[in-house]
């Protein structure tokens, strides 16, 4: 079997790190993209320990030129991209009536435009080769909505619409486009959210954490590795017929 290559954004920590490691263990060469050189160095060391080829790439997905450069570098050094995982994301909260435009623009720039830029850079090659998997990490919030997170929810809802629309163009070209919608995760992003809620409400950390756990059907926080397992399935031959779906975790 020829070498397979996965391009993972936001790969330095959390879900992105777990997905990058899972693909490395499955034998993929991994292009690990992110904005923090420190986190990329750490994940690259862990990836290299699996024995696969690894390429850390500094990239801000909100900047189209960064994405174009990163994709070209990955394909030059690791070969054509077989799996694109759009995981890079940011989350902030604010009451809608007082939310500033800059917060809105930040959420859409990273979460939605960043996903679009990566898809736009990678999918034409996938279509030409008649093979590929695109996996967008969306959010349960994009399906149901959460108070005080209008910009984040809108951006993730946009990711779901983008996923479904492009999937309809991809299904006859050997490419699938799917989304994964995690609930509250056991990651640094959730820790930051808990801290913001504690600061604004005066509630205890344990109380807020329990509230978030109760919002998940499992009544606990989701581990990043559980999301990585679903991503690995979507990249596998077993998921050839799965397209345009938004899978809850």
The full set of domain ranges for the chain reads: 5-183+223-248, 184-221
Dihedral angle over CA of 39, 45, 50, 55, nearest 10: 70
| pLDDT tens track for 108-159 | 999 999 999 999 999 999 999 999 999 999 999 999 998 899 999 999 999 9
Count of Cβ atoms closer than 10 Å to residue 239 Cβ: 17
Closest Cα to residue 54, out of 84, 33, 35, 32?
32
pLDDT digits (tens, 9 = 90+) for 71-91: 999 999 999 999 999 999 999
- State residue 96's pLDDT score: 96
Please tell me the predicted confidence (pLDDT) of residue 2. Answer: 73
Question: pLDDT tens across 116-129, in order?
Answer: 999 999 999 999 99
Catalytic residue among 28, 39, 117, 152: 152
Quick check: is 152 catalytic? Answer: yes
pLDDT of 28 > 60? The answer is yes
CB 152 within 8 A of CB 111: yes
Tokens of 80: 């054509």
Return the CATH class of domain 5-183+223-248. alpha beta
Q: Are 134 and 175 in contact (CB under 8 A)?
A: yes
């Amino acid at each position: 079997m020829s070498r397979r290559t996965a391009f993972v954004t936001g790969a330095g920590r959390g879900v992105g790190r777990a997905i990058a490691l899972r693909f490395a263990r499955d034998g993929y060469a991994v292009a690990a993209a992110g904005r923090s050189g420190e986190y990329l160095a750490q994940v690259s060391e862990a990836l290299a320990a699996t024995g696969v080829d690894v390429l850390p790439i500094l990239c801000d997905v909100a900047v189209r030129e960064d994405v174009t450069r990163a994709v070209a570098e990955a394909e030059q050094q690791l070969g054509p991209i077989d799996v694109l995982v759009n995981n890079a994301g940011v989350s902030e909260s604010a009451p809608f009536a007082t939310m500033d435009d800059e917060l809105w623009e930040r959420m859409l720039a990273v979460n939605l435009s960043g996903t679009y830029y990566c898809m736009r850079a990678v999918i034409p090659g996938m279509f030409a080769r008649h093979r590929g998997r695109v996996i967008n990490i969306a959010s349960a919030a994009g399906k149901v909505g959460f108070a005080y997170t209008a910009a984040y929810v809108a951006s993730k809802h946009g990711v779901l619409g983008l996923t479904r629309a492009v999937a309809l163009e991809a299904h006859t070209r050997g490419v699938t486009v799917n989304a994964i919608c995690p609930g509250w995760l056991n990651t640094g992003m959730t820790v930051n959210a808990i801290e913001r809620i504690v600061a604004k409400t005066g509630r205890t950390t344990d109380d807020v954490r329990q509230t978030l756990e109760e919002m998940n059907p499992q009544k606990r926080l989701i581990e990043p590795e559980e999301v990585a397992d679903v991503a690995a399935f979507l990249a596998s031959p077993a998921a050839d017929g799965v397209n345009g779906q938004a899978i809850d975790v």
